[in-house]
Structure 1
Amino acid sequence: MSIFRNARLFLIVIAGSIFLTGCLNTKSPTEKIYEVLESVVQTEQGFEDQQDPLVNLEQQEKKLYDKIIALGMKEFDQIIKLSDEALTMVDQRKEHMEKEKESINKSSEEFKKIVTTIEDIEDPKVKEKARNMYATMMERYDIHNELYSNYMQGLEYDKELYELFKNKEVSLEQLEEQIKKINESYENVLNANERFNEQTQKYNELKLEFYKQAGLEVKSK
């Protein structure tokens, strides 16, 4: 019922300095791209900050759910109390997911700045590497949109379930049907999450390959 999401992969942060060639006052297209890419990492800090709170809430909510289904109708007052607690957690999860989406949206806006600069790269191999990197990251954003939509749908189904628990007249068939909808929604989330992780890993690899091929010597602290 609750989704125990796998830990998400994050964008690589290269902490340190970059040794750029050429005139200090004139930046090449690849140097401009480097600055944007490292800025993108910072914009996704908000995304990273939501991961632990979300997982913790999902785990706490799962414990409440287990308690609810273990109770009988003679303990209906306790069912209502636990359902209300779970509904509060659903709202909290929604807030964290919205913050995550906001961070990803800002990342996307920042990342798109490189699209015109890529075409200014003279070396065809470096340009092709940059294009591949760009396409990979844009697909990553698309996958997150899918993940977000399914997660938010799952939250709505969760709320409906806890409201059903508070209804003395609810049937077993209604509960089973609602849980089926929840499971299907979160199965879609898990699928998108796996693809999102794969795309993040692919982007990180392409990013480092781009730096190397462009001759950007990045030295970690």
Structure 2
Amino acid sequence: MFHVIRGGKVVQVRMLMALLAAAVLILSGCTGQSAKEEMYDHLEKAVTLEDAFREQQQPMVELEKEEQELYEQIIDLNMDQFEEIKEKSQQAAAIVEERREKLELEKESIDSAKEEFDKIEPLVEDLDEEKADAKDKAKELIDTMNKRYDAYQDLYSSYDEALTLDAELYEMMQKEDLTEEQLQGQIEEINQSYNKVIEMNKTFNEHTEKYNTLKKELYEALELDVTYEESGEKETNDEEKEGEDGTDASSEE
């Protein structure tokens, strides 16, 4: 949920981002690794490589809230309290830099995961000929991941630009000759920037949700026996349920 203070900055800009769903493969006793199992390994390693991205989400939201509280305290002060305005502006500027550091950690994680994901491309053509539907699903998954990655790059650039505007705002607030017109102009520019971030965030989440759905469909097409972990819950597919009933639940080679 996003809120706007009348005449003030956008509050709670960062919505929590949709995350890649993890899956656990139920391995058979066979030796060697098939193309589909290699694909599984790369896909799930990509999930693991996004752990750092995942870990930044809630702290980023909390830092935004903390900064907003300082901003509200600053605008409630008058020029007779300029030293306090200056001190709180410096504190807020420091939080902006903390947010930027977390943004960089987030990007490094996304970049590493994408690099790992890209390793599945040469494996697609190695899938068994009878798994044409799986090949098509894998290609669709690759296309969706590419769109997700591009959406994140746009989101990163927009958020980084917004942070720069925030930093400029708190530098301006440390000047005694700052006019209300200058302040309002900067805030309007910041709000426009964050509205763009909000839209980019939504697009990224949409691609992530589509990716998670396609990955499940790919695993089903590959007849991989997996359990899914999503939002702290596990879903068991039909093959595993059959295995629990005493029938063969091993993955095919």
Residues 16-40 of structure 1, C-alpha deviations (whole Å, 9 max, x = no match): 44245xx833322211101111101
The yes-or-no answer on 1:28 pairing with 2:37 is no
Q: Which moved more, 1:51-60 or 1:171-180?
A: 171-180
Provide the residue aligned with 1:55 in structure 2: 61
The yes-or-no answer on 1:106 pairing with 2:127 is no
Q: Answer whether contact 2:145 2:207 (CA < 8 A) is retained.
A: yes
Q: Answer whether contact 1:129 1:210 (CA < 8 A) is retained.
A: yes
How far off is 1:106 after superposition? 0.3
Provide the residue aligned with 1:94 in structure 2: 100
The yes-or-no answer on 1:217 pairing with 2:225 is yes
How far off is 1:187 after superposition? 0.8
Q: State which of 147, 150, 170 in structure 1 corresponds to 2:178.
A: 170
Provide the residue aligned with 2:18 in structure 1: 9
Q: Answer whether contact 2:13 2:194 (CA < 8 A) is retained.
A: no
Provide the residue aligned with 1:69 in structure 2: 75
Provide the residue aligned with 2:85 in structure 1: 79
Counterparts in 2 of 1:89 and 1:27: CA distance versus 1, 3 Å: same
> Secondary structure of 2:26's partner?
strand
Provide the residue aligned with 1:143 in structure 2: 151
TM-score by length of 1: 0.94
TM-score by length of 2: 0.83
How far off is 1:3 after superposition? 4.1
2: distance between equivalents of 1:169 and 1:212? Answer: 65
The yes-or-no answer on 1:130 pairing with 2:130 is no
2: distance between equivalents of 1:55 and 1:219? Answer: 31
2: distance between equivalents of 1:80 and 1:103? Answer: 35
Aligned-partner residue type, residue 178 of structure 1: Q
> Secondary structure of 2:16's partner?
coil
Q: Answer whether contact 1:37 1:111 (CA < 8 A) is retained.
A: yes
Provide the residue aligned with 2:162 in structure 1: 154
> Secondary structure of 2:22's partner?
coil
Q: Answer whether contact 1:3 1:186 (CA < 8 A) is retained.
A: no
Bigger relative contact order, structure 1 or 2 (CA pairs below 8 A, ≥6 apart): 1
Q: Answer whether contact 2:121 2:142 (CA < 8 A) is retained.
A: yes
Counterparts in 2 of 1:165 and 1:219: CA distance versus 1, 3 Å: closer
Aligned-partner residue type, residue 99 of structure 2: R
Q: State which of 186, 198, 205 in structure 1 corresponds to 2:213.
A: 205
> Secondary structure of 2:226's partner?
strand
1: distance between equivalents of 2:159 and 2:185? Answer: 18
Q: Answer whether contact 1:65 1:86 (CA < 8 A) is retained.
A: yes
Greater fraction helix: 1
Question: Mind listing any 5+ residue stretches in structure 2 that lack a counterpart?
Answer: 1-8, 229-233, 235-253
The yes-or-no answer on 1:187 pairing with 2:198 is no
Provide the residue aligned with 1:45 in structure 2: 51
How far off is 1:64 after superposition? 0.3
1: distance between equivalents of 2:27 and 2:167? Answer: 53
1: distance between equivalents of 2:184 and 2:12? Answer: 17
